[in-house]
Structure 1
Amino acid sequence: MNYSNQHTDMSVFENLESSVRSYSRSFPTIFERAKGHELWDVNGNSYIDFFAGAGALNYGHNHSDMQERLIEYIQSDGLLHSLDMATGPRAEFLQTFHDVILEPRGMDYKVMFPGPTGTNTVESALKIARKVTGREKVVTFTNAFHGMTIGALSVTGNAFKRHGAGIPLTYSMAMPYDDYMDGFDSLNYLEKMIEDDGSGIDLPAAVILETVQGEGGINAASFEWLKKVEELCQRHGIFLIIDDVQAGCGRTGTFFSFEKAGISPDVICLSKSISGSGLPMAITLIKPDYDQWGPGEHNGTFRGNNLAFVTASEALKYWKSEEFSTSIQKKSEIFQKRLHEFVESYPELEGEVRGRGLMLGIASEKPGLSGQIAERAFAGGLIVETSGPDDEVLKFLPPLIIDEEAITKGLDIIEDSIKAVLGKEEAKV
């Protein structure tokens, strides 16, 4: 069926779909196909992708090797849905993940399939921390985002998203993230509160954090701060949960975003690009001593997505050597050099470059400016989104497989968009 011939009018979305839709508003066209770092709409317009499905497409759109494996598996009548029954693709993923990712890094974790999404893995992480410790409170940080279900929302900072819960979000306490307040050591404050019997703060079950806050504004914690968080948790018997849903799977240059910090989380949350192809999949990594679930104590109907297991195993081939990681770092340098040039060349942006690897952004102090640049860039053939509590950050999440020519072309569109929004005469977009 040729869907592009049947549906070419955006009014169907406006008339029939809920007002909760968001990206179809930001990118008001009907997309027809995609490959690698590019998308095409029904009118034949092409777009460079600096969005990558909000980080779910680190290996690009419709990766040829993954497509081939999917087609082969479907045509063999392989199981698509299987709950958590044993299947070949499930076994292949578990073994490949152990051999390619965990063992070479000296990491010993049990792999849990909590459900298909990032919020599922966060919910399971919070539950196992509370189950093992027997405690309730979880420490989270300013501008955190961990998902849209109630438990995950309780450790999320964004007021708009929290308000959507409609009920009090409890059993968590927020602390300032690294560099949130100049000259304020949030970890010393937290430890003092924990140790003081008169503080009114109970010993928490866990600390949950993103090493680079994606939705919160591309805030990157220093490796030194992350190490101090781990040390605090170890001193007090607190679970350390790293939410690597968006920052993981190579987004910051290494498979796990925390590798260069030299820390060993008790629980790790992965989703988005773990399937490699954009198919729904999530895993929760738990240190073996803490894997204290009873059978079926946490379950879900769609935790056995065999198509995702097939492509996830294929994607892990990128990590059999250091070559892919090195290429990400090289592309990051190209990106960062140009972004710093934008900030210096256009002081009207009042901009600041943030991030790590290919999880980057320009934060602007001017209200609405980042959104205007993103809108103009879309008109010029580039898909890019904003993040932060006030959408103040122009956020760059290109597929990790993007080539240097496309990076340069996309950044040229960004520069032309900046010029246009700032009223520069030489703007082309």
Structure 2
Amino acid sequence: MSKDLDMISQHESVVASYIRSFPTVFTKTKKHKMWDENGKEYIDFFSGAGALNYGHNDDHMKQKLIDYITNDGITHSLDMASDAKADFLKKFDDVILKPRDLDYKVMFPGPTGTNTVESALKLARKVTGRTDIISFTGGFHGMTIGSLSVTGNSMKRQGAGIPLQNTVTMAYDNYVDQDTVEYLERFLEDNGSGVAIPAAMIVETVQGEGGINAARFEWLKKIEQVCKRWGILLIIDDVQAGIGRTGSFFSFEAAGIKPDIICLSKSLSGYGLPLAVTLIKPELDIWKPGEHNGTFRGNNHAFVTATAALDYWKDDSFEKEIHEKSEITYNFLQRLVSEYPELKGEVRGRGLMVGIASEADGLSEQIAEECFNRGLIMETAGPNDEVFKLFPALNIPKDDLQKGLNIIEESIKALVKNPVTN
């Protein structure tokens, strides 16, 4: 063990997790690559758990940030007005909202994904006067109490240390062999079901931590229709699936729906800087001033890089590029499932938020570990870490995308021929 890794292991809480999966000290990152203290190069198919969709240290964003800092631009301002905030809001409206015929007020709830989810849940309850929220099996929405209450993972829920209340879990798309929307609506109709009309439903169109489960577009449309019939607010949690990860800026675009509230964070800043927004239909923006706030909701450095990142979306060329790479990746995964039956695999996901769920106990974790040893950073997902998931940078060159895919295949070859036994 290196000196720095040993020091970190001695002093950091045992709650740290990724250091266990990637036991090395990283010293440099650029675009879709990382290097450790020994100079070993890694292709990054992790992308900061979806916080680095444009890769590491993008030159355009970095220069904008350097210029802003060297000119003594405002770093911290809570929710006071700043030129960096004004620039971001104007460009976000011009480049993202208006071209998609979307009209939302932008709330800065605090800098992380769980902050935007907490604000969405709170606002839904305030608007409707109801208390319950419907969430879905496999969902993950954050680690604070409100967000945990709508998260499915039992281990993470237990970390709350208290009962998590005022939520009802319903079956996600394809969770069972029946129409889960019809089942859900039956609960709403039946006065004896024990399910009250909720304030909101919160949905991920593709569940990241839950196992790369992708909801069908028709399922999402039905969920929106149910919400409209019953006066329930629809919250789309696009923290991980948004900002191009599934092929379009918002993950729900292809479904043709318009949520009442949208949660964004992770790659919104484009540079790995903390930034979150809650997008609210104007008629729902009934907050009292300061009713939901946070010290770091004015992250001006993140505004600067987020504004620069929107240049990727000025036309449709970037989106076309994502779709091309998505097709390459999806076809590759389908071939793996076909040619390596030992995987007992199923391809899941959409866009460049994809993976293989393996029924072979522990195999996905072994594949991720073998990939790390061979120079590829990749993580697992799902209730039992049964999915190895691919989150390459959206702007990764096709040649390097293929190199990363080849490492995955070589790792699988090594393991299915010489499986690791516990």
Whether these two folds match at TM > 0.5 is: yes
- Corresponding pairs, count: 418
Deviations 1:86-113 (A, max 9, x none): 0000000000000000001100000000
Separation of aligned partners in 2, 1:420 and 1:170: 46
Tell me the residue number matched to 2:250. Answer: 256
Tell me the residue number matched to 1:375. Answer: 369
1:26-425 matches, within 5 Å, as 26-182=21-177, 184-423=178-417
Separation of aligned partners in 1, 2:367 and 2:187: 43
Separation of aligned partners in 1, 2:256 and 2:391: 24
- Counterpart secondary structure, 1:366: coil
- Counterpart secondary structure, 2:127: helix
Deviations 1:359-383 (A, max 9, x none): 0000000111000000000000000
Separation of aligned partners in 2, 1:200 and 1:419: 51
Separation of aligned partners in 2, 1:179 and 1:191: 16
**Structure 2 length as normaliser, TM-score?**
0.98
- Counterpart secondary structure, 1:81: coil
4+ runs deviating over 4 angstroms? none
Separation of aligned partners in 2, 1:326 and 1:315: 17
Separation of aligned partners in 2, 1:248 and 1:368: 29
Separation of aligned partners in 2, 1:262 and 1:127: 26
Asked if the contact 2:344–2:359 (Cα under 8 Å) also holds between the matched residues in 1, the reply is yes
- Counterpart secondary structure, 1:82: coil
Asked if the contact 2:85–2:303 (Cα under 8 Å) also holds between the matched residues in 1, the reply is yes
How far 1:9 sits from its partner (Å)? 3.1
**Structure 1 length as normaliser, TM-score?**
0.96
How far 1:199 sits from its partner (Å)? 2.2
Separation of aligned partners in 2, 1:134 and 1:66: 42
How far 1:193 sits from its partner (Å)? 1.5
Asked if the contact 1:218–1:361 (Cα under 8 Å) also holds between the matched residues in 2, the reply is yes
Deviations 1:23-60 (A, max 9, x none): 11100110001000000111000000000000000111
Deviations 1:74-131 (A, max 9, x none): 1111111110110000000000000000001100000000000000000000000000
Asked if the contact 1:271–1:281 (Cα under 8 Å) also holds between the matched residues in 2, the reply is yes
Deviations 1:376-415 (A, max 9, x none): 0000000000000000000110110101111111011101
Separation of aligned partners in 1, 2:104 and 2:132: 24
Asked if the contact 1:145–1:215 (Cα under 8 Å) also holds between the matched residues in 2, the reply is yes
